[in-house]
Amino acid sequence: MKKSMIMAGLSCILAAVSCMDFLEEDLKSSLAPTNTYTSTLGFEVGSAGLYSIARSEYNTWGEEGAFIHNGACPYEALQIGTDIVVQSGAKDGSLTPFANLTMNGSTQFVKTYWTWAYDLINSANELLIFSAQNENWDYPSDKALYEAEARFFRAYAYRYLYYLYGDVPYVETIQQPFLLDFTRDPKAEILQHILDDLQFASENLPEDPDAVKVGKLTKWAALHLLSEMQLVAKDYTGAARSAEAVINSGYFSLNKERFGSKENLAKDGNAFSDMFLEGQQNRTSGNKESIWVMQFEYGAVGGGTNSDDWTRRAWNPQYYNINGFSLSVEYGGRGLAQIAPMKWWIGVKGTNATPDNPTDGIFNDGDIRNAESSIKREWLYNNPDVSNLYGQKCNITDATWNSGQLFPALTKFFFGVEANLTLTGDYKDRMKFRLAETYLLLAEAYLGQKDPQKAADAVNVVRRRAKVTDVQASEMDMDFLLDERIRELVGEEVRRFTLLRTGKFLDRVRKYNDAQKDIIDEHHLLWPIPQTIIDSNRDVEFPQNPGYDN
């Protein structure tokens, strides 16, 4: 259903008036759609804006126009109410409603994810409208290229709305004055629009990833995401076809040998952990596994700002608050431990928390994804000023784990700068899609086709890189695949979306999440609709999702 674009406009206004200096007149730029979208160069400017909005999901305190800010890294809200992490003792109040399932239409990230998604949709729609009018292109193919980028990002944003809120307004035009009578379009219609946009993007984005600027989309990124959304639509044949197209493209391969700079090769590591070292996310570093990499590198032209990716503050412990430790690059810099891994999957080996259960969680012996270079478990006191402890091992205990001060930590989110160790952000480029996940999407498609042998074959490609034994078809089910996604993709994937897509959300939360297992029910499969949207749509009732009070 075609509707004029109002939701993004309203949400952006509401976000803007929350700023302290919203009444100050400050002309930021003379650029406007009418004088920007008049040439290929103008559309490149608009395209850059889409990438910038997309990556602001990982922002927090706000800088240079951030859309989500003043709390934890918002993507933590999509991890915490699942089967992998809990809120640690180093609590951030913005995450508490998602940890104890008390979120409502006024909860911060409930509102800001809606704002962010519709702002991205609005910007994509604007580019599409002006591209239809423009006749001044450098090359005949430019029009389809920029439309493909815009339609990819529109689908990308609707993906979030689909998973989080269910039925939402579908908008693809911009019209003044604003409308106040929106209705919610069915999820099935939203999903079909997503599929259509991704199909168009896959047919019109560039094919050769080495022939585009670093960080730019290619058809393979569109096909990777299309495979996921075809799984949502239960089009398992189509999902397998899309994933196989990426796998068989000839452009990508799993990193099976160590690679990267001489400095990084001198560090302890392996083919898996090398992907997460600074400067080694893009193809230019030798990383042929990356399909789409968001550009966050701090201090680089086209990179991120001081606020753009604060993932590290989520996952890394506050070891520096323990007597005998000091901030260091080796230990990942300054984390805030706003979330902590659950013991069932990461294991407690080497701790004195549960000496009768010295397991490695869900990892098999020899799994390089569980090596010290991937999950740091050995913490040695590193402050030379505390000489009686220096160099000795600090044991991980229930107390250090629950407080957020010390637990096994994912080194994929380590980052530190000697000149400023108090920096809280990650500042590394972020692998958004990589080939290992494409194989796991393929396995999911084969499970949907009731073919566990082919599913096992796909998973085993990933497991062989990890140096572990093959999974047999008799063992291959959705729970095994979900465990494998933790081993390979924890912290990278949107765990909430994975559990929803596979239909395992309630089962897994009830099994593994002690804080939620007795209170979660069907209505928690969706978030509430932001109350500001319900209130502003005053000409027609805009219903709240079931189970949430208006």
| 72, 338 Cβ separation under 8 angstroms | yes
Q: What percent of the chain has pLDDT over 90?
A: 75
Q: What does the pLDDT read at residue 20?
A: 25
Q: Are 470 and 460 in contact (CB under 8 A)?
A: yes
Q: Give the pLDDT score at 303.
A: 61
Does the pLDDT of residue 296 top 90, yes or no? no
Do domains 1-17+30-204+501-550 and 219-309+426-476 share one topology? The answer is yes
What pLDDT band is residue 3 in, cutting at 50, 70 and 90? Answer: very low
Contacts of 537 (CB under 8 A, 6+ apart): 180, 181, 182
pLDDT band at 417 (very low <50, low <70, confident <90, very high): confident
Model confidence at 13, pLDDT cuts 50, 70, 90, reads very low
358 preceded by cis ω (within 30°)?
A: no
Is residue 349 helix, strand or coil? Answer: coil
DSSP H or E segment with residue 341: strand 339-341
Say what the pLDDT of residue 14 is.
30
pLDDT digits (tens, 9 = 90+) for 444-475: 999 999 999 999 999 999 999 999 999 999 99
Structure tokens at 99: 């940890």
* 451 token code pair: 């073919």
pTM for the model stands at 0.92
> In this prediction, what percent of the chain has a pLDDT beyond 70?
87
For the segment 135-194, what is each residue's pLDDT rounded down to a tens digit?
999 999 999 999 999 999 999 999 999 999 999 999 988 755 566 778 899 999 999 999
CATH fold of 1-17+30-204+501-550, please?
Answer: 1.25.40
Q: Tell me: pLDDT of 427 over 90.
A: no
- What confidence category does residue 290 fall into, taking pLDDT thresholds of 50, 70 and 90? very high
Q: Kindly state the average pLDDT of the residues 72-83.
A: 91
Q: Residue 272's pLDDT band (boundaries 50, 70, 90)?
A: very high
Helix (H), strand (E) at residue 13: helix 7-16
- Tokens, residue 403: 């407080």
Over residues 35-42, mean pLDDT = 94
For CA atoms 414, 417, 421, 425, give the dihedral sign: negative
Fold of 219-309+426-476: 1.25.40
- Average predicted confidence (pLDDT) for the chain: 89
**Does residue 372 surpass a pLDDT of 70?**
yes
Length of the chain: 550
Assign 110 a pLDDT band (cuts: 50, 70, 90): very high
What's the whole-number mean pLDDT along residues 377-386?
Answer: 97
> What Å distances lie between residue 538 and 179, 181, 531, 533, CA to CA?
10, 7, 12, 9
Residue extents of the structural domains in the chain:
1-17+30-204+501-550, 219-309+426-476, 311-419
**Greatest alpha-carbon span in the chain:** 74
Unique residue bearing structure tokens 């979208």: 37
| SS3 of 107-160 | CHHHHHHHHHHHHHHHHHHHHHHHHHHCCCCCCCCHHHHHHHHHHHHHHHHHHH
